[in-house]
Amino acid sequence: MRQGPSMISDDIPAPPAPLKKIGKRAQKVQDRKDHILVTAARLFRERGYHAVSMDEIGSASGMTGPAMYKYFKDKAAILIAILELGTAIAKQAIASIDTTGLSDLEILAEHVRCYIDFTGETRDAMVVTVREANNIPEWYRPGFLDEQRTVREAEVNLLIRIRPELTRSEARYICTNVFQGLISSSVYLYPADSENRRLRLSAMAMAALLA
């Protein structure tokens, strides 16, 4: 073996130490940003978006207000990040559904179950998404609404196959009101891990989708 930098194999040099340090630093920054988002989502849920300042988010996150601006330029940027996090979690949850051998009706029921579970697990972010979406900047609104429609398209397509008498606009209207209305808003009323919430919501959601 050649002499020189430490090797992973005879032919592949180990990554240089500075790259490792950069990776660790980036991970630390991401961890801090995630912590800020979790904290801000809780404060926004408890007190409302307009009643919470950047200084208060910073204090609750364990840092001074001015230090917050290293991670987010303003409070609107934090709100946007919370909404984007909720959307990303929704996409991941839907993608995780195993549809092997299931009928369209059974797959739709799995979407309902999955959405109920992840909205309960991400209660703070979901309350903020439902209640504070009107506070997002105007420049961000069209893209946000388009993203929300994209998330719902899988359920819209399923519902049209199950209920072919519906137009796409009618199916989208129903799915939006069931998933983003009925299910998401339920986090106000039931504990996140409530079995009662799961059972009631599943029955109500499927009844509304098939009515």
The torsion of the CA quartet 41, 47, 51, 54, rounded to 10 degrees, works out to -30
Residue 13 phi, psi dihedral angles, 5° rounding: -65, 145
**Does 151 have pLDDT greater than 50?**
yes
**Does 196 have pLDDT greater than 80?**
no
Which pTM was predicted?
A: 0.76
Task: Round to whole Å and give the CA distance between 35 and 46.
Answer: 17
Which residue shows structure tokens 């420049």? 139
Task: Round to whole Å and give the CA distance between 206 and 11.
Answer: 59
Yes or no: say if 140 and 146 are a contact pair by the CB < 8 Å rule. no
pLDDT digits (tens, 9 = 90+) for 39-77: 999 999 999 999 999 999 999 999 876 788 999 999 999
